[in-house]
Chains A and B, each alone.
Chain A
Amino acid sequence: MAKWMSVAQIKEKIEESSAEEVTARYLEAIGKSKVNGYITVSEKALEQAKKIDAEGHNGSLAGVPIAIKDNISVVGLPTSCGSKILEGYIPPFNAHVIEKLLAAGAVILGKTNMDEFAMGSSTETSYYGPTANPWDLERVPGGSSGGSAAVVAAGEAPFALGSDTGGSVRCPAAFCGVVGLKPTYGAVSRHGVVAYANSLEQVGPLANNVTDIAVLMDVIAGYDRRDSTSIDSKTEYQKALVEDVKGLKIGVPKEFFGEGIHPDVEKAVWNAIHRYESLGAAWEEVSMPNIKYALASYYIIAMSEASSNLARFDGTRYGFRESGENWHAMVSKTRAEGFGTEVKRRILLGTYALSAGYHDKYYLKALKVRTLVKQDFDSALSKVDVLMAPTMPNPAFKIGEKIEDPLTLYLSDVNTCPINLAGVPSISVPCGFTDGLPIGLQIMGKPFDEPAVLRAAYTFEQNTDYHTKRPHEVA
């Protein structure tokens, strides 16, 4: 069995042999892993595959294995969010996306590593140690869904779910040379996903090709009344997989090619845009003047929401608890010991930004800037069908290189976080390499116009071979 297979190939393989054999092969690859991509490998995966074989292969993903980011609840498997504070916690309910996957017959291989509570761009802040980039084991896979991207790139899962609050699906997709989609806000239910910043985040798929992203979206997207921001767009994602960009209007926002961008990244993205031109699309430069304020606005909002969301982790009902002479002391010690440094920084900054006297200066200001950033997207996308830019301004950096200075790490989200403020869909697809490290092209669209984004991504993929390259380190 080939190490890297599309979902269609896996389904053929299951018909030839069995779901059990396919799952066993993935578990074998996970056993030999060099990337530390999984926090938990499911002991029930084989059993689940056998059951699917016994019942006949019903469902669009019958017997197809998948990896799940460890902030998405799966009954019977620990959900740690990469944090000590959730040590031993096993959710008593499935996330909406997990219900959908199980109903489609998917086999859950395990839970993937991540920056603690999804707060990071490198997967280095996990309590369970850093994940390595399959293209260079000394480098980060990106984050926060670094485990999900690394296992897909390393052939330890055909595809995976991540979550994207400010780039956490697209950044690791770009760094690991895979495809990752942040859907429109509201397209995928957040029920059962551990909240970091509710107004920004979405569950998103990671895969080795655009087709498998659409396959997964057709399963996980749709209305769920348990998520009050859920919207039923009735999109048929696989129908968007059409190889044709004739007449497509591409906007190139110059603000996404700012200071500090790696010259090879800039070149690879422009090559991609020119490729689209040769395939019949037209491009024009567009200006989004408020983009330079998006990063500060994003971080203030994300930290403020986090300070509120993470208040629930108090040692009372689940996970780690430190003893204390009274309730306040117990909670304060539990949180001091249970959270890592970066999570505590963000909670403290968020608490400060919401506190009396500073709310208007920081939080309210950030919400107003968010309006301006969204208006920039509305205005740019009224003239063109999609926007294209680098996903990350630089390729994957070395483990340990940026972890000491939070601001340096935050700046790497400069091209991904504006998308979450505006809630629009955005995909990262492989578009080149620099010194053996993958580069991602980011394609953004109008709200709920995933079809335009997927069509553009699919057409690029059909006319290039970047998505077929595999990392030698793990071959």
Chain B
Amino acid sequence: MITKEDVEHIGWLARIDISEQETVEYMEKLNSVLGYFGQLDELPTEDVAPTYHVAEIYNVFREDVVEESIPQEVVLENTEHKQDGTFRVPKIG
């Protein structure tokens, strides 16, 4: 079971502001879904290997050569918050 404190903690980890009222709503909805997920416990999987993806590919390498990329000014076109060729954000802490 997920508590109000858990919701607040994962809200912080996920960087999503959650109001007092929303905390209770999320707690109820998330617990109902987690309850459903709990059915997996009945299936024994001690000797089963995990599958991260099904493509039979493990490492994909390429030569470390510089290639053409998107120009800086084009990348910065999608924000108003920019300065001297960089993205501008508030101070971290």
Instruction: State which residues 19-49 of B face A: CB under 8 Å.
Output: 26, 29-30, 32-34, 36-37, 39-41, 43, 45, 48-49
Q: Is B51's CB within 8 Å of the partner chain A?
A: yes
Partner of A364, one of B50, B53, B60: B50
Q: Is the CB of A349 within 8 A of B34?
A: yes
A92 to B71, CA, bound (A): 10
**Given known contacts A344-B16, A447-B54, is B45 in contact with A296 (CB within 8 Å)?**
no
In contact, B40 and A339 (Cβ under 8 angstroms):
no
Of all chain A residues, which has the CB nearest B81?
A321
A325 within 8 A of B: yes
Cβ of A316 and Cβ of B34 under 8 Å apart?
Answer: no
> How many inter-chain contacts with C-beta < 8 Å in the A-B complex?
162
Q: Which residues of B contact A (CB under 8 A)?
A: 2, 6-7, 10-18, 26, 29-30, 32-34, 36-37, 39-41, 43, 45, 48-55, 57, 60, 62, 70, 74-75, 77-79, 81, 87, 89-93
Nearest Cβ in chain A — how far from B9, in angstroms?
8
Residues of chain A contacted by B16 (CB below 8 angstroms): 332, 335-336, 339, 344, 347-348
Interface of B is mostly: loop
The answer for the CA separation of A345 and B33 in the assembled complex, in Å, is 10
6 A-B pairs within 8 Å (CB atoms) are namely: A88-B78, A199-B52, A317-B79, A327-B93, A335-B16, A348-B7
B9 nearest in chain A by CB position: A355
Interface 1/0 per residue, A266-278 and B, CB below 8 Å: 0000000000000
Q: 8 other contacts beyond A336-B16, A368-B45, with CB at 8 A cut-off?
A: A185-B53, A228-B57, A345-B30, A351-B14, A352-B30, A365-B41, A368-B49, A423-B53
Nearest CB in chain A: distance from B28 CB, A: 11
Contact status A371-B37, CB under 8 Å: no
With contact pairs A300-B37, A365-B40, A407-B33 given, residues A372 and B45 touching in the complex (Cβ less than 8 Å): yes
CB nearest to B91 among chain A residues: A326
Minimum Cβ distance to chain A for residue B16 (Å)? 5
Number of interface residues of A (CB under 8 A): 68
B14 contact from A317, A348, A369, Cβ within 8 A? A348
Closest to B60 in A: A228
Q: How far is the CB of A328 from chain B (nearest CB, A)?
A: 7
Q: In the complex, A335→B11 CA distance in Å?
A: 10
Kindly state the separation between the CA atoms of A421 and B50 in the bound complex, as whole angstroms: 12
Residues of B within 8 A of A368 (CB): 45, 48-51
Knowing A316-B87, A326-B91, A347-B16, say if A355 contacts B78 (CB, 8 Å): no
Least Cβ–Cβ distance between B52 and chain A, in angstroms: 6
User: For the complex, what is the distance from the CA of A293 to the CA of B17, rounded to whole Å?
Assistant: 33
Measured CA separation A88–B77 after assembly (Å): 11
Residues of B within 8 A of A331 (CB): 15
Least Cβ distance of A186 to chain B in Å?
4
Q: Which residues of A contact B32 (CB under 8 A)?
A: 405-407
Report how far A367 CA is from B53 CA in the complex, Å: 9
Is A128 among interface residues, defined by CB-CB distance under 8 A?
no
The 4 closest A-B pairs by CB, nearest first: A367-B50, A423-B54, A318-B78, A336-B17
User: Once the chains bind, are A371 and B57 in contact (CB under 8 Å)?
Assistant: no
Identify which of A92, A228, A327 contacts B89 (C-beta below 8 A).
Answer: A327
